[in-house]
Structure formats: C-alpha cells, structure tokens
Amino acid sequence: MSEKPFKNEKDIHTDFMDDMTYGDYLQLDQLLSSQKRLSGHHDEMLFIIIHHVSELWLKLIIHETQAAITAIQQDELQASFKMLARVSKIQSQIIQAWDVLSTLTPAEYMEFRDKLGNASGFQSDQYRLVEFVLGYKTPHILKIYKKNPELYDTLLKAYEQPGLYDVSIQALARNGFAINPDVLNRDFSKTYQGDSSVEAAWLEVYRNVDEHWELYQLAEKLVDIEDWFQQWRFRHMKTVERIIGHKQGTGGSSGVGYLKQVLDHYFFPELWNIRTKI
C-alpha cells in the first residue's frame, strides 16, 4: 500500500547518473561529514550540531543585514523591511536552539569539555560580524583573527564601515531632520554612544507616524532586532550558567559574568529612550 502513491507519480525522476541531485546541490556530503567528535561521548554530537546550525543562521543574518544596509543607503526602505523582518525570524530560531542545548547536563558536558582546548564560541567570527554590522565595535577582539589574513580583512572592513543604525541615522538626515554633523561624520570604528539630536528626530517620527510612516517602520524593525538579540543573549547566558555554572569559559572569558555584562548594551539607544517620552 505504501508504494502506490510513488507508482502513480510517473514524472518523478529516479535516474541521476548524469544530473544534479538534491544532495549535490546542497553539498550534503561535505556538510554532514563536518560533525567530527573529538571524544567518544554521545552528547558531543549535540554540541557540535547546535553550533553548526547557529553559524549557518548567523551567516544568513549577516547576508540579510548587509543587504538591508545597502538598501537603506539607497533610500529603498521598503526593500530593507523584508530583509530586517527575516533577520528577526532567524533570531527566533537561534534562540530556540538554546532550548535544545539545555538538554546537555553539566555531568555530560564535563565528559568532553577538555577536548575543546581554548576553542570557544567567543571566537566566532560570524558573531563578531553580526555585532559589527549592528554597530557594536570592540577593537581587541580583532586580534583573535590575525592568523587568517583573509578573514581578518573581512572583519576589519566591517569594523570600519557604518553599521545598520548609522545608515538609519543618515536616512533621518536625508529626510530633513537636523542631525548633529559629528554623528554623521563620526569614526564608524567606534561603538555608537547616543546623541540628543538623534533622539529628537526619532521622537518626532513617533509623534507624527502618518507623516513619517517609512521611518517609523524602520525604527520598529530595528527595535524588533534588538529585542530578539537581547533575548538571544539572555538565553545564551542562562544556558551557560545551567551547564557550567560560573566556571571560566574555554576561551578565557569569565563566562556567565561576561555574558551578563553585554546584556546592558544597547545597539539603538534612542529608540528605547524615547518610549518613556512619547
């Protein structure tokens, strides 16, 4: 009985001797052979796959955010909204990944943690790229990647370029808002700290939504991304605390202590400040 539906599908291709298959297109041989455990412990596979999946989602976040930055620079705000909305959906998937990793108990992780050496998610170049395109710039982090000149150049380029919030502020200026020139011409390799002229501009947008509808939509897309990012950071911190407590991270960071510190950082500070003033 189970074969009948297949037999009735006369157009299904079964001869792939000379044609590309699904696995060929996705290079699944390479992808699925990348999970190489360094221990014999069953749960190391979970640990590797969770991080592989997260890195793939980070790659798509970077792809979409960089495209959104370009669209905003070209005043194609509607196009950027689709990309930024997709980023938010991706973030929800990464957050859920922590729920799966949380099934790893402290005793299980200790069975293979020593095999990681000094390797740590703290060193993820794609995570740093996400921070850079969102405008959070940390110069000392770049040293980690000097062993790979091509990767280092990619990160340095993103480090020196305007982030998503920078181009959004520039869009405010192009729409007639009086933005402090020091903000528009600032050194983009420095983390943005906030400015009263930017806050005044966003406050005007929120008080006159109909007049500034596209900028209002942009602002809310940015808030969505920051909201999800903070939830991701929180779930990361709690998952680490659940599995290793307050041990030092394998990469040398303070672990939970470091993760708690970054929870206080805002990428788009004025968009949160104005909520009290509207």
d(CA 131, CA 61): 11
Q: Are 268 and 223 in contact (CB under 8 A)?
A: yes
User: Is 13 assigned to a binding site?
Assistant: no
Strand, coil or helix: 68: helix
User: Is 112 assigned to a binding site?
Assistant: no
User: Is 50 assigned to a binding site?
Assistant: yes
User: Is 244 assigned to a binding site?
Assistant: no
User: Is 47 assigned to a binding site?
Assistant: yes
Strand, coil or helix: 225: helix
Angle between helices 77-101 and 213-244 (to 10 degrees): 10
CA dihedral 142, 144, 147, 152 (to 10 degrees): -30
Q: Are 104 and 47 in contact (CB under 8 A)?
A: yes
Sequence-separated contacts (24+) of 89-92 with Cβ below 8 Å: 90/57, 90/60, 90/61, 90/64, 91/61, 91/225, 91/228, 91/229, 91/231, 91/232, 92/228
User: Is 109 assigned to a binding site?
Assistant: yes
User: Is 127 assigned to a binding site?
Assistant: no
Tokens of 6: 């297949």
Known binding site for heme: residues?
A: 236
Q: Which residues belong to the annotated binding site?
A: 47-51, 109, 113, 236, 250
Annotated binding site for substrate: 47-51, 109, 113, 250
